Amino acid sequence: MREFILYNTLSRKKEVFVPLTSGMVGLYVCGPTVYGDAHLGHARPGITYDVLVRFFRHLGYKVRYVRNITDVGHLENDSDSGEDKIARKARLEQLEPMEIVQHYTIRYHEAMKLLNTLPPSIEPRASGHIIEQISLVGEIMDKGFAYVSNGSVYFDVEAYNKIYPYGILSGRLLEDLQSNSRVLEGQEDKKSSFDFALWKKAAPEHIMKWPSPWSEGFPGWHLECSAMSAKYLGENFDIHGGGMDLLFPHHECELAQNTAARGKGGVKYWMHNNMITINGQKMGKSLGNFITLEELFTGSHKILTQSYSPMTIRFFILQAHYRSTLDFSNEALQAAEKGLKRMMQAARDVNSLTISPDAEPILVLKDVTEGVYTALCDDMNTPIAMAHLFEAVRIVNLVKDKQIKINAVDKETLARLFEEIAIGVLGLTDEQSESGSGDVLNGVIDMILEMRRQAKANKDFSASDQIRDKLNSLGIQIKDTKEGTDWSL
């Protein structure tokens, strides 16, 4: 088996990956809090850990991939005050919280499937593991690292820090946290503002609550991952992943909870994907650049000049190393769209290349294959691996254009690179060939749009609106731009 090197957030350096159990990988990834549509911020961890899982499996490991669904306990400001995000959405929409959870879990799964990510091996829900979480709170209290206050239970960071260093994962020091902390509303129950809730007493009107030794209430957000990772992967497991935004406080608190209860952090390698920016800005609702995946796939957000297919998004995300920030712009996505087309065209063409039995071996091909594996084994460097794959694309095109000849062995090597790496590990799919009758559909819709354009030119707006409405009712969205009309399914 090849040596796989992984950057460990905990040690802050690259380490050779050695699994706790030979040939097996236990991976836990923090999944979404399901109170809204999947957005760009979900796509990056979804794809990053999908490629990690696929690559481990390609190398011959068995992987148990656990990704949770947060359906309770995630409060609005990620701290210990404010309303539960799901309960708030349920109140606004006049639905049951579990209706919100069900609706957005399904939507999340659909988006992840379109991005061609494999489902996790286990997908536990926080609300399905209340017993495990209550028991973990008990363990932490028994060790003296938690206290009850007004029916809620808080983690005692100061008591913990006397024995174990708090902040080792994120590199934050308790002293700095103390000097920067402010008293927030709704935090009066705590000894210190950086203590965090393990169990929250529910207000009488709160729907999602369970009995516990301390109060009718619900678990704190950080607790679920400590409880569910241990349940399905054991108290020691290989890799814990998530977005950089979860490093503090979420993962720091998880590590502290594990250590408080069991005397050890429980995770060998902590892995974090970096964030996505949009035109250089952080994505946020207040900035007007918050894009859901559906808006990207249909091109219906105002900052988008066109729609982008799920594979374009996937290709684009993989063009950056997962630990680098990644900036979304229409120009960059359009370039990714072209790159994807070229790569998938070559993946199709390779199978029909004519073999010349007398052709000399293509020497550079060995470097290409080696380059791809070396890059992927070096902390999953997908951009470098893709650069090598484009070298393979170039070779395919040279043979196709009859500039060089290829023998059967080299053709097989090339075909395997596309099949096993581009498609198998990077998870890229050929959207054009998948749609099958796609070319016919394209032609028909272009024809209809041309009729609509003519109707508009003749100022026959009722006809042009009718065409649009009819297309909409068939699930075809159209969008007028300066260049013409874009459409998407």
- Give the interface with Zn ion as residue ranges (CB under 5 A): 30, 225
CA dihedral 187, 191, 195, 199 (to 10 degrees): -70
Query: Least distance in Å: CB of 260 to Zn ion?
Result: 17
The least CB distance from residue 340 to Zn ion, in Å, is 32
Q: Which residue has the tokens 């490093």?
A: 247
Nearer to Zn ion, 64 or 468 (CB): 64
Of the pair 225, 425, the CB lying nearest Zn ion is at 225
Side-chain-side CA neighbours of 6 within 13 Å: the count stands at 22
Torsion of CA 337, 289, 274, 378, to 10 degrees: 10
The string over 67-96, giving b where at least 16 C-beta atoms fall within 10 Å of a residue's C-beta and e elsewhere, is: bbbbbbbbbeebbbbeebbbbbbbeeeeee
* Least CB distance to Zn ion at residue 228 (A): 9
C-beta atoms surrounding 448 within 10 Å: 18
> CB of residue 49 vs Zn ion: minimum separation in angstroms?
13
CA distance 450 to 50: 41
Please identify which residue in the block is written with the tokens 């394209």: 442
Q: Quick one: which of 433, 431, 432, 485 has its CA closest to 454? A: 485
DSSP-assigned letters across all residues of 224-243: HHHHHHHHHH-SSEEEEEEE
Taking the least distance from each CB to Zn ion, the nearer of 66 and 372 is 66
Least distance (Å) between residue 461 CB and Zn ion? 52
> Do residues 428 and 417 make contact, with C-beta atoms less than 8 angstroms apart?
no
Name, in order, each residue with C-beta under 8 angstroms of 128's C-beta and a sequence gap of 6 or more: none
The DSSP output letter for 474 is: T
Identify the burial level of 358 via C-beta atoms within 10 angstroms of its C-beta, where 0-12 means exposed, 13-18 middle and 19 or more buried: exposed
CB closer to Zn ion out of 225 and 267: 225
Complex with Zn ion: residue 73 or 97, whichever CB lies closer: 73
Is the CB of 225 or the CB of 255 nearer to Zn ion? Answer: 225
Least Å from the CB of residue 30 to Zn ion: 3
CB of 224 to Zn ion, least distance (A): 7
According to DSSP, the β-strands at 152-155 and 62-67 are unpaired
Give me the least distance between CB of 106 and Zn ion, in Å please.
21
Positive or negative: CA dihedral 69, 73, 74, 78 = negative
Question: Which residue, 69 or 111, is less far from Zn ion as judged by CB?
Answer: 69
Instruction: State in angstroms the smallest separation of the CB of 45 from Zn ion.
Output: 11
Nearer to Zn ion, 38 or 225 (CB): 225
CB 237 within 8 A of CB 265: no
End-to-end CA distance of the chain: 43
Judged by CB, which is closer to Zn ion: 244, or 389?
Answer: 244
For residues 249 and 427, which CB has a smaller minimum distance to Zn ion in the complex?
249
**CA dist list (Å): 149 to 132, 154, 181, 193, 327:** 21, 7, 20, 13, 44
